[in-house]
Chains A and B, each alone.
Chain A
Amino acid sequence: MTVLRVDATRGLALCIDCSGARSSVETALVEPVAAGDELLVHAGTAIATATKVQRQ
């Protein structure tokens, strides 16, 4: 899912998936995230940031 907006205070990000559906995602396990990041989301929680792992 692509991050559209980040609410760092609540540890949440508004994301959009490839079908255009938007949802609020828990980001505690992958912080910090920024708009435009690609997150792997499972059960409402982001478990990896694709862009970050590729850079390593």
Chain B
Amino acid sequence: MRFVDEYRDAELGRVVAGEILAAVEPGRHYKFMEVCGGHTHSIYKYGIDDLLPANVELVHGPGCPVCVIPMGRVDDGIALAHHDGVIFTCFGDMMRVPGSDSSLLDAKAAGADVRMVYSPLDALRIAKQNPHRQVVFFAIGFETTAPSTALTLKRARAERVTNFSCMCSHVTIVPPLRALLESPDLRLDGFIGPGHVSTIVGARPFEFIPADYGKPVVIAGFEPLDILQAISMILRQLEAGRCEVENQYTRVVPYEGNLRALEVMAEVFELRPHFEWRGLGFISHSGLKLSDAYADLDAEQRFPVPGLRVADPKACQCGEVLKGVIKPWECKVFGTACTPERPIGTCMVSSEGACAAYYNFGRFAREREVV
């Protein structure tokens, strides 16, 4: 298929891997963060880290939408799902994320009407089919998903669907990156920038990384050759003493982003003063809520929610995984008490979570190394 097959060419992959090998300085250790969970998934699925020299280390970042949702927010969703007459809708991954006592899947098993949807528009369709029920959509995700929610809310308003509302937990990518760059725990040499978020926001929002922190950024696609080429481009910047934002994913990322999507988001959302991230704590201006013009479609204003802050289980080290401080397999419960079938932490739930990606693909390579 066009735009897929040519980016999975094994022969070209070996050529780019050779370029990477030629570009690294012997004796220097390179640490690059892939911001997006989609990159983490591809890296393990295609064994990209196996093609890299030993002194190039990839560190996983906070860009998995499900992984960053704190437990208290899951509990809020469960409380809403148990509300009389409510049909609670969410993406499939979200159903298995553990709250403090249970998950949305458990709530469904206990009798709550929780339904998995592929798109917020599916939730709106359910609302139109059930005019005597209240339908709530649990909106999560970064700037990639937020425009879809915004369009759905605009449609609900235009079509006068009054039994539809949204529990908005959308987040933005720049504030956690700034928080990570300020963290003394992590020393990074460059970033593989988030490809799909950049489709919406463009390249400009990442310019602070080279300007303020002196680290190169290369926005990359999600196929194996995209990621290898992005690593090669970061290394070439370092080799030449350059430090800037480059765009490897030119086939879908315009420099200015998707202006129509940004306009719709600006109309429907506004920034929260602060939002809690799993493992990263409260980060200022990092979460979205519905704007005053759409406040009547805000589920948290329509229904009471507990809104309590809940600490992660002590055994869970998702926070350190999300900050790139430890690798998935270094977590105390990885692959034993915490598996994709019975996750303790969010990183083991979504296919974009570093722990799930590593459990599903990477662990086999590591087992071979140990043997």
Q: Which residues of A contact B (CB under 8 A)?
A: 2, 18, 23, 26, 28-30, 38, 40, 42-45, 47-48, 50, 53-54, 56
Contacts and interface: CB of A to CB of B under 8 A. Distances in A.
Contacts of A47: 144, 147, 196, 199-200, 258, 261
Interface stretch (B76-84, B118-126, B313-321, B336-344): B118-126
A50 B261 CA distance: 16
Nearest to B249: A53
Interface in B111-167: 118-122, 141, 144-145, 147-149, 151
18 contacts: A2-B1, A23-B118, A29-B258, A38-B2, A40-B252, A43-B118, A43-B141, A43-B145, A44-B118, A44-B119, A44-B148, A45-B119, A45-B121, A47-B144, A47-B200, A48-B253, A48-B254, A48-B258
B148 A53 contact: no
Nearest to B4: A18
Contact of B148 (A2, A23, A26, A48): A26
Contacts of B28: none
B3 A42 contact: no
B352 to A, nearest CB: 12
A45 to B, nearest CB: 4
A56 B254 contact: yes
Interface residues of B, number: 29
Contacts of A29: 147, 151, 258, 260-261, 264
A29 to B, nearest CB: 5
B199 A48 contact: yes
B3 A28 contact: no
A44 B253 CA distance: 19
Contacts of B258: 29-30, 47-48
A47 to B, nearest CB: 5
Nearest to B143: A47
Interface string B310-353: 00000000000000000000000000000000000000000000
Nearest to B2: A38
A45 B2 contact: no
Contacts of A54: 250-251
A50 B251 contact: yes
Give the one of A28, A38, A43 with max B CB within 10 A: A43
A12 to B, nearest CB: 9
B254 A53 contact: yes
B252 A53 contact: yes
Given A43-B119, A43-B149, 4 more contacts: A2-B1, A40-B252, A44-B148, A48-B258
A48 B144 CA distance: 11
Contacts of A26: 119, 121, 148, 151
Nearest to B149: A43
Contacts of B122: 44
B199 A40 contact: yes
Contacts of B264: 28-29
Nearest to A12: B121
A48 B122 CA distance: 21
